[in-house]
Structures are given as structure tokens and as C-alpha cells.
Amino acid sequence: MLDIIARYKRLIKSFHVFLYEQEGEMLRFKAQVTFTNDSKLFIKEYVFENKERKYAYHWTDTSGNLICRWDNANHWPGISTSPHHKHTGNEVFESTETSVGDVLNRISEKLEVKPKGGGKDCRGKIPIPCSPRETKIGSFHNKVTNVSAPNTHTPPKDCSQ
């Protein structure tokens, strides 16, 4: 784990381990990464005796609002990458990011992008999608669609340019 964290040290302000328990092949691990922009990644990893793995990586902005959560809870069987998926807002997307390294790689891509115009929309928010191209799979209301999400952020129409 430390080698993965070291790979992204240019973006990490702090790294705290809250729980590390290992017995044989079983593992319980909880940690928090604070990035240089003060967003946070909460990490939970469990490996059970039968080698089954459960994970959740929860990335929040400075106000604690969800940017993206990657997990493998098996509650979206209709997704092609099931049980692996990610949440942004009230939507659920396919996900190939299934490890801390994958997630840190995705986050680093977003943190190192220098958007035009200072990167903030008229509401002072920095838009950070989970991936450059996403296919909308469904929402928490289980409405399934196949709509492509835009690659870039479009500010609300009432913004002055």
C-alpha cells in the first residue's frame, strides 16, 4: 500500500490508517487520503477467509460532498462490470477501477487536469467527473438508460461568460 501512496505523493497532503487487521489471508483495512486540494478519499478493503474481497473507495470534495464512490456491493446486477460499479450523484456507472491503485490513478488524472477559465463554473464549483467518457447505466430509482455523459462540463445557461 505504501508503494502505491508513494507513487502519488505529489498529490497527497496526508495519509492516515485507521484500521489494519490481518490474520492469515483475512484482512480489514480502513484509511483516509487527503489530497493537496483538500478533497478526501476514504478507503475500505476487506478480504475474507474464502478470499472474497469487498471494497469501497469514497471520494469527497472539501465540503464532504460525494465526487465519486467505487465499490463492489452486488446490488447493480444489470451493469456489465457487475459487481464493480461507481456512483456519482444519483447515478451509477460501469467501473473498471477495482483497486486503490486504479482509483488513485483516476483521481490523479482529474487533479492534474488544468481546465480553461480557472476550472470553476459560475457557482464556484470545480467539476470533476469520474472518467473522461461514461455511459449512464441507471439511477438509484433503478431507471436503466444508455446515454453518453459529456466529456466536458457545460456551465448552466444563466452564467455570464
Q: What is the 3-state secondary structure (H, E, C) of the chain?
A: CHHHHHHCHHHEEEEEEEEEEEECCEEEEEEEEEECCCCEEEEEEEECCCCCEEEEEEEECCCCCEEEEEECCCCCCCCCCCCCEEEECCEEEECCCCCHHHHHHHHHHHHCCCCHHHHCCCCCCCCCCCCCCCEEEEECCCCEEEEECCCCCCCCCCCCC
Q: Residue 144: is its pLDDT beyond 80? A: no
Q: Based on the number of CB atoms within 10 Å of its own CB, is 10 exposed (0-12), middle (13-18) or buried (19 or more)?
A: exposed
What is the chain's mean pLDDT, rounded?
A: 77
* pLDDT for res 100: 95
Sequence ranges of the domains in the chain: 2-112+122-148
Establish whether the linkage from the previous residue to 77 is cis, with ω within 30° of 0: no
pLDDT tens digit string along 45-63? Answer: 999 999 999 999 999 999 9
pLDDT category, 116, cuts 50, 70, 90?
low
pTM above 0.75, yes or no: no
Rounded to whole angstroms, the Cα distance separating 44 from 31 reads 7
